[in-house]
Amino acid sequence: MNYRNMPAGQELDRLVVEEVMGWSKYIEECDNGWILSGPMYLGKWSPSTDISQAWRVIDKITGIAEGYMFPVIELSDKVYAGLIHYREQIILDELIVADSAPLAICRGALIAKLNKENQP
């Protein structure tokens, strides 16, 4: 799946919940998004549009994908999220470009998870 071009919204939020956060058993669809109920969160979940929820995604992905840093930089009208692997040397694995920080973070988190799964 091409995560680089996914728009913010329900589908991206669902993928982040299931693939990155591992909370699939706590998620329920509602009229305009997702509701999480469980020990870690209660309420509407929309990390692709809510920066406070996107920071939770960064916390999670840096724990899952050991050896990765995730800097987020805003320049002009775009936001850049770098996915940097720093095991033996610093390598820029991906540069994610988006219109907002939450969107860049969610796209990058999914790519980091996929990269981690494909490592030998």
What pLDDT, on a 0 to 100 scale, did the predictor assign at position 115? Answer: 73
Torsion of CA 39, 44, 48, 53, to 10 degrees: -40
In a domain, 97, yes or no: yes
Report yes or no on 92 lying in a domain. yes
CATH code for the domain of 106: 3.30.2120.10
In-domain check, residue 1: no
Residue 4 included in any domain: no
For the packed helices 51-64 and 101-117, what is the interaxial angle rounded to 10 degrees?
A: 20
| Overall size of the chain counted in residues | 120
How many separate domains does the chain show? 1
Structural domain containing residue 94:
10-117
Residue 2 lies in a domain: no
In a domain, 5, yes or no: no
Question: How many whole angstroms separate alpha carbon 81 and alpha carbon 97?
Answer: 7
pLDDT in tens, the chain (120 residues): 788 899 999 889 889 988 888 876 666 666 666 566 555 555 677 899 999 889 888 888 877 666 667 777 777 788 777 666 666 655 556 778 888 889 988 998 888 888 777 766
Q: What is the pLDDT of residue 44?
A: 73
